Chains A and B, each alone.
Chain A
């Protein structure tokens, strides 16, 4: 419990956690509070915010409810961000562990592949992948993960390289354990903490990448996304700036919240590990 209390004593972490909790609440309650299609027309077009209390944040160019879109967009942002980060962390840890544990050719090949992925800017990679395969939620997740798994892979490999020299790995070999079992049951779990420490940055970056893809019109067309909303609002930026500002603020707060809460968790657990 002291870990939780230490977390509570860090104001940034608490602020991050509150934002994150609000975001999760928005995502979960989206279809309860705003049942039906958020892309359906709900009122007159370009209604400014705070005019009509049934449409508190007004409507966009087509008369769609901005608040409903915001709630449903939270869902997409969170789902894509978490799924892409999870995929990147899993793939990265597995590749890094295999590379670090198998020496020689396997390590060489895996690290060359990692380097090849790293030389291409991750956003360009995502952009190219989506434009070739076509936009859908799953493809967007894969596209983002494609550019982010290399970081976790390098960290996992470095950690595995140091862990595999420890006595307990030699013990496991002497007992007759299979090398893959040693790599994934004995070594990987102990190599994970520094990899997981990267997750807040990875989730935040994934959410931003998703927004950027949607902004460029490469998001899933069947879903409301914040990036798509900003792009929509751009056409009427002078007359109705709120259409871009509202989802923009939501995006900034979300990335900030994820980052702060994630760093808070890492910090408090790291302190605990340092003490024990």
Chain B
């Protein structure tokens, strides 16, 4: 049984008098512990799918089943409780945190909201979370804007894993980081996946990264699925026009091809 099943998902936005489908009849599934990548040109609907799956916006049509439940049927307190199992890491780690927050407060929120640890127990849990993502426990007292971009993204990952989710949506989660830091964060994500069997919905425009971390990939074009399949197979030899165009635009990958 798959962890997440999305069927015929559609989201329209009004533009210039008519409505344009940002996501058009998209269906896919993710298995436990699996990484499914969404790739495609800018504006192809990747972030919209991420926000729909996270229930940050509502679809116009389609179904989302998560952990064998109708995810779209949830609302209010039951939806908030279920969010513990479905977490996210955003692209810009600075924008994703309250500018006034400290590291400790950011990590305290999920533990408190989902009743995971008592007040007295939380500082220890926060220290353990920081350690788990490779940060020093002393960082807890720092303000979010006082740590580096790479550290911030690690804190974002720590917040995401605090509630022991089964799926994390990563929307361009490594795109804003410079190359050496990106490698470390990807490594951390793979390590977490191996140990906790977390599934990822991994959104990236970088086919090299997708090929390295994803099991399967979906190529999107103007809100529709253009091509999908095994990540290496699709990226090494795309059949769709958009896949070929994306590959041609990725010079590093192109060069390594035989």
Contact = CB atoms under 8 A, between A and B. Distances in A.
Contacts of A177: 80, 109, 113
* Interface of A (DSSP majority class): helix
Interface in A55-113: none
Interface stretch (A31-39, A162-170, A200-208): A162-170
B83 A174 contact: yes
A186 B163 CA distance: 20
A189 B114 CA distance: 23
A175 B109 contact: yes
Contacts of B88: 171, 174
A235 interface: no
Nearest to B92: A167
B2 interface: no
A166 B99 CA distance: 11
A176 B98 contact: no
Given A176-B110, A176-B113, A177-B113, A171 B97 contact: yes
A186 B106 CA distance: 11
Given A174-B56, A175-B113, A177-B109, A167 B83 contact: no
A176 B114 contact: yes
Given A167-B90, A170-B56, A170-B90, A175 B110 contact: yes
Nearest to B162: A175
B97 A190 contact: no
Given A174-B54, A174-B88, A177-B109, A168 B80 contact: no
Nearest to A185: B98
Interface in A123-178: 166-168, 170-178
Given A167-B90, A167-B92, A190 B113 contact: no
Nearest to B80: A176
A175 B99 CA distance: 17
A176 B76 CA distance: 10
B241 interface: no
B100 A190 contact: yes
Interface string B109-126: 110011000000000000
Contact of B87 (A170, A174, A189): A174
Contacts of A176: 80-81, 83-84, 110, 113-114, 163
Interface in B36-92: 51, 54, 56, 80-81, 83-84, 86-88, 90, 92
A70 B99 CA distance: 46
A148 to B, nearest CB: 27
> How extensive is the interface on chain B, given as a class?
20 to 34
A9 B113 CA distance: 47
Contacts of A171: 88, 90, 96-97, 159
Given A173-B56, A176-B113, A186 B84 contact: no
B95 interface: yes
Contacts of A170: 51, 54, 56, 90
B97 A168 contact: yes
Interface in B169-208: none
Nearest to B57: A170
B56 A168 contact: no
Contacts of A189: 100
Contacts of B100: 189-190
Given A175-B109, A175-B159, A186 B98 contact: yes
A31 B237 CA distance: 89
A167 B97 CA distance: 7
Interface in B144-183: 159, 163
Nearest to B110: A175
Contacts of B99: 168, 190
B83 A175 contact: yes
B80 A178 contact: yes
A173 B99 CA distance: 16
A177 B76 CA distance: 11
A174 B159 CA distance: 11
B106 to A, nearest CB: 9
Interface string A174-193: 11111000000010011000
Contacts of A167: 90, 92, 95-96
4 closest cross-chain pairs (CB), A and B: A176-B83, A176-B80, A167-B95, A167-B96
Interface of B: 51, 54, 56, 80-81, 83-84, 86-88, 90, 92, 95-100, 109-110, 113-114, 159, 163
Given A170-B90, A177-B109, 9 more contacts: A170-B54, A171-B159, A174-B56, A176-B80, A176-B83, A176-B84, A176-B113, A176-B163, A177-B113
Interface of A: 166-168, 170-178, 186, 189-190
24 contacts: A168-B95, A168-B97, A168-B98, A170-B54, A170-B56, A170-B90, A171-B90, A171-B97, A171-B159, A173-B56, A174-B56, A174-B83, A175-B109, A175-B110, A175-B113, A175-B159, A176-B110, A176-B163, A177-B80, A177-B109, A177-B113, A178-B80, A178-B113, A190-B99
